Structure 1
Amino acid sequence: MRPREIAVVSGKGGTGKTTVTAMLARALSERCVICDADVDAPDLWILLKPVVQREDLFVGGHKAQVNTPPCDGCGLCSRHCRFKAITMTPSGAHVDPTACEGCGVCSILCPKGAVELLRTKQGHVFESQTSFGPMFHAKLNPGGENSGRLVQILRERARKSAGELRKEWILLDGPPGIACPAISALTGASLGLIITEPSKSGLHDLLRLLEVTRQLRVPSGVVINRWDLSQEGSNRIRQACEDTGTPVLAEIPFQEEVVRDLSMGNIPSSIPQELVDQILQGIQRITQGE
């Protein structure tokens, strides 16, 4: 049977997405492969404390490089660079790699063939072991490109591992928002588990994510975190879920003990196990046809 892949997502950071993922990893101990797909700001490792077993470079995107010689300082590349990434110096053209978008215009126009496009190191990919099972995660360099592709690589490795180890679940901590990395994490998943909070922005982000999962044809379920901070906000989220036919799998209350546990890098222990079991039961119901 194909492992069921649960993508835990949220409209923005700080809603409790990674916390819920860590609690589910603990509950599914040894039955799942874990994947942290939040490659721009990964922090699941803080709670799961993985031991790295393998590290690979992630290479993607292109940057221009000027070779001197044959560059003779004609300035043609600099005049036509729309990103203002090339400046002229006494020794020839100089490329600012942080501004270069790798479009290739400079390499096409250079009459001396002095400009070449090189693939660049964008980050690192890790295969690790945790107390709850294998974990695949990555770290994109600041300003690194191709985060959607990096998410895809992590998912491919997690799927391969789950198949080889005959794990029932792939638990994926997805990127926040609805941009390319989040879409890469949700596409083809068995379920999008959306973590939200009782605020106006939480409701707005929830509705955007529900539209994304609908477009991608990915079933979804909702967990309302810190629901008791705003009864009015929670009621609005419940109503939105009812209007869209989306089940609310659990409502987690605010607890100061959770904040203390997280500040110490620990998975919260004060959240009742019944709530975690309730989420898992809801996931089972939605994905049982997989």
Structure 2
Amino acid sequence: MKQLLILSGKGGTGKTTVASAFIKLSEARAFADCDVDAPNLHLILHQSSEARRANFYGMSKAAIDPELCVQCGLCQQYCHFEAIQAGSPYNVDSFACEGCGVCEAICPVKAISYQPSVAGELMLYSGDRVFSTARLKMGSGNSGMLVTEVKRYMKYTAINADLAIIDGSPGIGCPVIASLNGVDMVLIVAEPSISGISDMERIIKTAEKFQTRIAICINKFDVSQENTEKIESFCQRLRLPIVGKIPFDPAAVKAINEGKSIVEMDCASGRAVKDIFAQTVSLL
């Protein structure tokens, strides 16, 4: 199975719009949404079946046994994250607890233990095609581990698929690094703005560490011709292929508001993405 990952370096560049279009054009039998903090691919790619759901457990959290607690206050005193609240009984704020283990070690009566904590939910749609996604709980960490599980579910369920399209997370943090692991090619959706160029440069440097093939497409290129030329010059210096440019297109907003991919209607952005898809597949 070849894996094509679509990244952006920042939010709002059109990464999911391009990913959903690629899934439609390729008739992909395997795809995943690895933006576990704010998954939205399912809003465009409607599923006919119910998802198989499973809890994702992150780091363990402290729990105080009220039957054993003598309310000495040592745990609260030594907690650097202010996660322990005094009272009768003492209790732990699970959002603030970092699972460091200090309170368990300091408790004189062994009233504190560490319990598995649900950090998110994995969702797997399977049938003629496999769609793997997940949602991280508010305030939870371990997003990189959750992304790894999303990809693993997709890979081992869609064993006969030739191509997998992966919608990655914005930025360059843990979920992006987990998304990059093991993919065959990265398509970076760049935006012709000052912040867009800066974040594109960062995600290119991150992707280069994984020694994977990189291609660039420019979304809303006609919004700033000057910045588009800067992107083209930068990519030329690094010898990175630009597989196409997508114009600003109000019809794209209309398609997304209707829960459709931009290639499901005749519009300028949809036609541009079709050409970008052909160029990308030829490189892959």
- TM bin, normalised by shorter chain, reads over 0.9
Quote the Cα distance in structure 2 between the aligned partners of 1:260 and 1:272: 12
Quote the Cα distance in structure 2 between the aligned partners of 1:22 and 1:109: 51
CA shift, 1:48, in A, is: 0.3
CA shift, 1:200, in A, is: 0.9
Quote the Cα distance in structure 2 between the aligned partners of 1:284 and 1:246: 15
SS at 1:72 equivalent: coil
TM value normalised by structure 1 = 0.92
- Aligned with residue 100 of structure 1, among 74, 97, 100: 97
Quote the Cα distance in structure 2 between the aligned partners of 1:168 and 1:32: 8
Quote the Cα distance in structure 1 between the aligned partners of 2:171 and 2:234: 18
Note if contact 2:34-2:133 (Cα within 8 Å) is conserved in structure 1. Answer: yes
SS at 1:216 equivalent: coil
CA shift, 1:272, in A, is: 6.0
SS at 1:233 equivalent: helix
Partner of 2:234: 240
Q: Which amino acid aligns with 1:227?
A: F
Instruction: Deviation per CA, 1:65-84: give whole Å up to 9, x if none.
Output: 10012110111111100001
Partner of 1:70: 68
Quote the Cα distance in structure 1 between the aligned partners of 2:139 and 2:244: 36
Give percent identity, aligned residues only: 33
- Provide the alpha-carbon RMSD of the alignment: 1.6
Note if contact 2:69-2:89 (Cα within 8 Å) is conserved in structure 1. Answer: yes
User: Quick check: 264-273 or 201-210, which moved more?
Assistant: 264-273
SS at 1:144 equivalent: coil
Partner of 2:140: 144
Instruction: Deviation per CA, 1:47-103: give whole Å up to 9, x if none.
Output: 0012333111111111111001211011111110000111221x2422111111111
Partner of 2:250: 256
Alignment of 1:1-290 (within 5 A): 3-29=1-27, 31-50=28-47, 51-89=49-87, 91-129=88-126, 133-163=129-159, 166-268=160-262, 269=265, 270-271=267-268, 275-287=272-284
Instruction: Extract unaligned runs of 5+ from structure 2.
Output: none
CA shift, 1:279, in A, is: 2.5
SS at 1:116 equivalent: strand
Quote the Cα distance in structure 2 between the aligned partners of 1:272 and 1:260: 12
Note if contact 1:187-1:218 (Cα within 8 Å) is conserved in structure 2. Answer: no
SS at 1:97 equivalent: coil
SS at 1:281 equivalent: helix
Q: Which amino acid aligns with 1:139?
A: R
TM value normalised by structure 2 = 0.94
Quote the Cα distance in structure 2 between the aligned partners of 1:71 and 1:285: 65
Instruction: Deviation per CA, 1:177-225: give whole Å up to 9, x if none.
Output: 0000011101221011100111111110110011001112121101100
Q: Which amino acid aligns with 1:99?
A: A
CA shift, 1:143, in A, is: 1.1
Q: Which amino acid aligns with 2:225?
A: Q
Q: Which amino acid aligns with 2:191?
A: E
Structure that is richer in strand per residue: 1
Quote the Cα distance in structure 1 between the aligned partners of 2:209 and 2:200: 14
